[in-house]
Structure 1
Amino acid sequence: MNSQDTIRAQLTEHQSVIAQLESLIPVIAQAGERMRQCLKDGGKILLMGNGGSAADSQHIAAEIVGRYKKERKGMPSIALTTDTSILTSVGNDYGFNFIFSRQVEALCYEKDIVIGLSTSGNSANVVAGIEKAREIGAYTIGMTGAKGGKLAELCDLNLAMPSTDTPRIQEAHIMIGHILCDLIEAD
């Protein structure tokens, strides 16, 4: 396969996954409305994930705090992936599986929403963070691949992308993240 064929194949796979997101419209709308209401009621959105999902968590939090498309007041959102001192101290003192649950324990309240991004749905530290959020009584949202993993069972709402291929799942996650930001900014 030459480079142009590789590019065409990647584009075709991407377009196929994005087209299948239409089946998630009711669930995406529900997540967006919950997030919008949470922020309106004085809550905040906490996001977590590993690797590319960590970057997506930061990206989505930045759109909420800064702005997506509309000039508006900043809204509270925190990516639990960004504080290297917390990540390394908790990782060192308690273990890597506790880097998110410890932050959720410290920063999350019942009126908040905690979003866990994991392509497999089984990232132990994300699962532990969601479990802690549930103990607190916060609303939980998962963003996973098609299989959903443990997050699908744990979360109040799970957005399972219609793919098992990590790059396609991550591309769909950021598209859904942008749609959620658009819904949050809706009048």
Structure 2
Amino acid sequence: MDLIHRISRQFEDSARIKLEALEALAAPIAGAVEIMIGSLLNNGKILACGNGGSAADAQHFAAELVNRFEMERPPLAAIALTTDTSTLTSIANDYDFTQVFSKQVRALGHPGDVLLAISTSGNSPNVIEAIAAAREREMRVIALTGNDGGQIGALLDDGDVHLCVPAQRTARIQEVHLLTLHCLCDGIDCLLLGVEDQ
């Protein structure tokens, strides 16, 4: 096996998918930034959830907001619902794993908050339940999915934002999700700090 060739193909494939996603996602990402800024400026917060690599993405995003991304600014309110092992395991043990995020949304979410729901397939049952809980709490939903958006794509309302990566491979979807999260962070910082386009 020619590993160098295989690695080169991975890079080329990732770059191609990102460029293809740009056309589909640029406007919805901008819309998601506006929703998040609106919430944060009105004392709202962003709750983020996902499974596996998407859980890591949720934590990454929350860390960038609470700490900082690339510019100095005050901390912003964001919570990853994937980090508290006592809460996660107690809910999974006493109820069901499908409720590990939804119970937290019901406990922590308020009208005007935003749920960042991440699922590469768009079919993660516990993320779907979190979206239902966000509806109950009068929260907006920003969903990161892939392929055809799965069940999550069909659940979203007009006031929500669907960031669906036009790819089938999980790795490629995750790579675009990470870039999308960085675009969200950058957009939030630029709008908050009044940064002009460079």
TM bucket, shorter chain: over 0.9
Query: Counterpart of 1:49 in structure 2: which amino acid?
Result: G
Q: Distance in 2 between matches of 1:27 and 1:46?
A: 19
Q: CA deviation at 1:146?
A: 2.2
Structure 2 unmatched runs, 5+ = none
1:138 equivalenced with 2:142 (yes/no): no
Q: Distance in 2 between matches of 1:77 and 1:128?
A: 20
Structure 1-normalised TM-score? 0.98
- Residue aligning to 1:129: 130
1:52 equivalenced with 2:53 (yes/no): yes
- Residue aligning to 2:35: 34
User: Secondary structure of the residue that 1:172 maps to in structure 2?
Assistant: helix
- Residue aligning to 2:89: 88
Count of matched residue pairs: 187
- Residue aligning to 1:164: 168
Of the candidates 167, 184, 192, which is equivalent to residue 180 of structure 1? 184
Asked if the contact 1:36/1:183 (under 8 Å) is kept, the reply is no
Q: Distance in 2 between matches of 1:38 and 1:146?
A: 28
- Residue aligning to 2:17: 17
Query: Counterpart of 1:14 in structure 2: which amino acid?
Result: S
Structure 1 unmatched runs, 5+ = none
Per mean C-alpha deviation after superposition, the further-off stretch among 17-26 and 168-177 is 17-26
Query: Counterpart of 2:124 in structure 1: which amino acid?
Result: S
Q: Distance in 2 between matches of 1:57 and 1:142?
A: 12
Q: Distance in 1 between matches of 2:40 and 2:115?
A: 12
Q: Distance in 2 between matches of 1:134 and 1:115?
A: 13
Q: CA deviation at 1:96?
A: 0.4
Q: Distance in 2 between matches of 1:172 and 1:74?
A: 25
Q: Identity, % of aligned pairs?
A: 45
Q: CA deviation at 1:22?
A: 1.8
Q: Distance in 2 between matches of 1:95 and 1:164?
A: 29
User: Secondary structure of the residue that 1:185 maps to in structure 2?
Assistant: helix
Runs of 4+ in structure 1 deviating by more than 6 angstroms, as ranges, are: none
Q: Distance in 2 between matches of 1:146 and 1:134?
A: 24
